[in-house]
Amino acid sequence: MPDRIDALAGLTSAERARLERFAKAFERVDASSYPIFTETVETDAVLEAQARAIDLVGKGRRRDAIRAAVDAFVDEGTHAYARRMSLTDTFLLFQSLPDRAEDRVRFLATVERAVVGLILWDELGDDDRAALIGPWAAVVESLG
């Protein structure tokens, strides 16, 4: 963990503060709700926003810090997804919560885009910010 914390030193204090608030909100999201944070299709607006974000990220220490932040959230999302209880565990039924690899990949992609959107918040236009935050908008708005 110290390596990740050190890597985040490449972010500004405002960027780290936004990520900390998002991390607290992210931890409160029940893993059974993850499907509502997936997008089945990446729209042109999302693809264009991603391209502009990549340009803003650049190279070097800042890029490494952004990658470390994304990795931390993706790792947490992956672990939380793996810990989800199946319906069998909760209701003794022979059904399970949807858990296809495609769903996990789509969910983690939205997490990655939201983290990048939060870091680049001050540098993005409103449309790009909204495209990157995507289905996490309600969570981000609750951060204040």
Query: Residue type for 138, please?
Result: A
Q: Write down the pTM of the prediction.
A: 0.86
CA distances from 65 to 32, 126, 139 (A): 30, 23, 23
**Domains: count for the chain:** 1
Give 101 or 123, the one with higher predicted confidence.
Answer: 123
Please say whether the beta carbons of 88 and 79 come within 8 A: no
pLDDT tier for residue 134 given thresholds of 50, 70 and 90: very high
Q: What range does the domain containing 9 cover?
A: 2-141
pLDDT for 93 equals: 47
Q: Is 106 exposed, middle or buried (0-12, 13-18, 19+ CB in 10 A)?
A: buried
Query: Residue type for 50, please?
Result: Q
Nearest-angstrom CA–CA distance, 133 and 139:
9
